[in-house]
Structures are given as C-alpha cells and as structure tokens.
Amino acid sequence: MPHSITQLRNLGPRCAEWLEQIEIHDENDLQAIGAATAYRELVQRGIVKPHRMLLYALGGAMMDLDCMKMSRHLRRDLEDEASIN
C-alpha cells in the first residue's frame, strides 16, 4: 500500500492539500508524475507561488531525502528538469 503524501519526508498537510488539487494523492501518484512536473503544475495553475524549496521538498520526498541536506548537484538537476533558471 502506498504511503500518503503526509507520510513522505518533507511534505505535510498543506502540501498534501496542494497536491490533491492536481490529482496527486499518494507516493505512487507523485512518483508517476515526478517532482518537477508536479511543481510546474502547482505553479502554472496558481496553486502556489514559485519557490525552489517546494521543488526540493518534492524531489526529496521522492528520494526519501531531507531537502535541507540535498546536494547542490541534485538541486540543479531538479531545477533543470522543472525549467527554473
């Protein structure tokens, strides 16, 4: 059984509410769409304002990695994938 969004590292109830608005309800949904795509959808639909930390939190959740400890290389890869300059 997949973990709920709030069971994933870095993500809490507020993130779960945002992600539900783009039909992401659990870890399988997030894995299927990917962190960068989920982030872009949230921003493009006006659900959230652009903020790199949300992108890092989503990426870290997918990797079970604390987003504050994410390497610069991983952050840049996420930014490139999300088309953030």
Instruction: Indicate the number of domains in the chain.
Output: 1
Residue 52 is inside which H or E element, if any? helix 52-63
What pLDDT sits at residue 21? 98
Tell me how far apart the terminal alpha carbons of the chain are, to the nearest angstrom. Answer: 37
pLDDT value, residue 53: 97
pLDDT in tens, the chain (85 residues): 889 999 999 999 999 999 999 999 999 999 999 999 999 999 999 999 999 999 999 999 999 999 999 999 999 999 999 998 6
**64 is in which domain, residue-wise?**
5-82
pTM of the model: 0.94
Instruction: State the pLDDT at residue 85.
Output: 60
In the chain, which ranges are continuous DSSP H helix? 13-20, 27-33, 35-44, 52-63, 72-82
Give the position of tokens 């539900």.
Answer: 20
State the CATH number of the domain containing residue 56. Answer: 1.10.150.20
